Amino acid sequence: MSTYVLIHGAGSDAWYWHLVDPELRARGHDVVAPDLPCDDDAAGLREYTDAVVDALAGHDTSDVVVVAQSLGGFTAPLVCERVPVPLVILVAAMVPRPGELLGDWWENTGWEQARREEAERNGTAPIGFDDIEALFFHDLPPDLKAEAMHHERNQSGTPMGERWPLARWPDVRTRVLLCRDDRLFPAHFQRRVAEERLGITPDEIDGGHLPALSRPNELADVLERLRVAASH
């Protein structure tokens, strides 16, 4: 049995994982899905990491798999500095560089240009953050989309004003899982960033930026496949 630690992304909460949680438990694992203090302007990466580590209290930490969504990619490696972790899985996640000002991540990775290129290929205009439904919820069924809208939280900009504190990526086996229909981080962009920053060729899954909602069973299957592969 492993303990899956599920870290949500920006402006969200642990509800994001509520469909994946039972899928992993049905496969015999423990699941920890903490709420990060994302709407607290006094909270930065240290507090986000504290929230994850504190949530692990009382759980078996002999075989921890950390799964991080989107902005959670900044926190996951910091957890590895405080808890023995054999595997990190980044799901449509942001990958920092040592010492990088996190607010510069967008420009440093060429994100805006990648989105323009993706829009040109599709014959559309880039979708802005003012259209949350089209950007994030486009592949969710109506009832789940409505519920997801109620779980939006304000995302403090405090972490984006910090520099990522590690001197290098932790010595932990790491996998990257991209979403082929992700409208925030296009697939070609994620492939390039994973290669440039981690030297990793990503695994891939269909669906948009929120696969834990749109494809929970498939996501759980992929997480399990990656976990088993990492154990050999």
pLDDT in the model for residue 73: 98
Q: Can you give the pLDDT at residue 231?
A: 86
- Give the pLDDT of residue 86: 96
Contact 90, 172 (CB under 8 A): no
Instruction: Indicate whether 232 pLDDT > 90.
Output: no
Q: Over the chain, what is the mean pLDDT? A: 96
pLDDT at 138 over 90: yes
Collect all residues with Cβ–Cβ distance below 8 Å to 96 and sequence separation of at least 6.
73, 74, 77, 102, 105, 164, 197
Q: In the predicted model, what is the mean pLDDT of residues 23-49?
A: 98
Residue range 129-151: average pLDDT? 92
What CATH number should be reported for the domain holding residue 164? 3.40.50.1820
Give the per-residue pLDDT at 123: 87
Strand, helix or coil for residue 176: strand
Domain of residue 122: give its range. Answer: 3-230
Burial of 210 (0-12, 13-18, 19+ CB in 10 A): buried
Task: State mean pLDDT over 189-201.
Answer: 98
Cβ count within 10 A of residue 36 = 27
- Non-local (6+) Cβ contacts of 189 within 8 A are 109, 110, 111, 114, 115, 118
Confidence band of 124 (pLDDT split at 50, 70, 90): confident
170-185 average pLDDT score: 97
| Number of structural domains the chain divides into | 1
Residue 224: count other Cβ atoms within 10 Å of its Cβ: 18
Q: What is the pTM of this model?
A: 0.97
Q: How many Å separate Cα 155 from the centre of its chain?
A: 15
Tell me how many degrees the CA angle 65-70-75 measures, rounded to the nearest 5: 55
Alpha helices (H) in the chain, listed in sequence order: 20-26, 45-55, 76-80, 105-109, 111-122, 132-136, 142-149, 187-198, 211-214, 216-230
Tell me the pLDDT band of 200, cut-offs 50, 70 and 90: very high
Lowest-confidence segment of 8-22, 45-59, 136-150, 192-206 by average pLDDT: 136-150
Question: What band does 22 get if pLDDT is binned at 50, 70 and 90?
Answer: very high
Model confidence pLDDT, tens digit, residues 66-120: 999 999 999 999 999 999 999 999 999 999 999 999 999 999 999 999 999 998 9
When pLDDT is cut at 50, 70 and 90, the band that residue 183 belongs to is very high
